[in-house]
């Protein structure tokens, strides 16, 4: 299964923690939120010149994976 999420805006660390707390008993949702959070942390840690984050693709299977897509800033 592959899920695609488009990056629209940054959220605060407090909002991120609130979302994780809300999904505490929903294991699948919590896993997805954690993967999105890790992808966001990675994006914040690198600088790619005139490119910004466009989407995050999460593949769920025997070996989960994440890929990031970037778009050029005009």
Give Cα separations from 51 to 17, 68, 70 (angstroms): 27, 12, 6
Query: Taking each helix axis from N to C terminus, what angle separates 13-22 and 27-45, rounded to the nearest 10 degrees?
Result: 160
Residue 21 has pLDDT above 90, yes or no: yes
Domain extents in the chain:
2-72
Q: Find the farthest-apart pair of alpha carbons in the chain and give their distance in angstroms, rounded.
A: 42
Q: What is the mean pLDDT of residues 40-60?
A: 90
Give pLDDT, residue 74: 78
pTM of the model: 0.81
Query: Over the chain, what is the mean pLDDT?
Result: 90
Give percent above pLDDT 90 in the chain. Answer: 61
């Amino acid at each position: 299964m592959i899920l695609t999420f488009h990056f629209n805006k940054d959220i605060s660390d407090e909002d991120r923690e609130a979302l994780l707390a809300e999904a505490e008993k929903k294991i699948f949702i919590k896993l997805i939120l954690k993967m999105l959070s890790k992808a966001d942390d990675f994006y914040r840690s690198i600088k790619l010149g005139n490119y910004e984050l466009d989407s995050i693709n999460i593949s769920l299977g025997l070996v989960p994976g994440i890929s990031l897509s970037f778009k050029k800033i005009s």
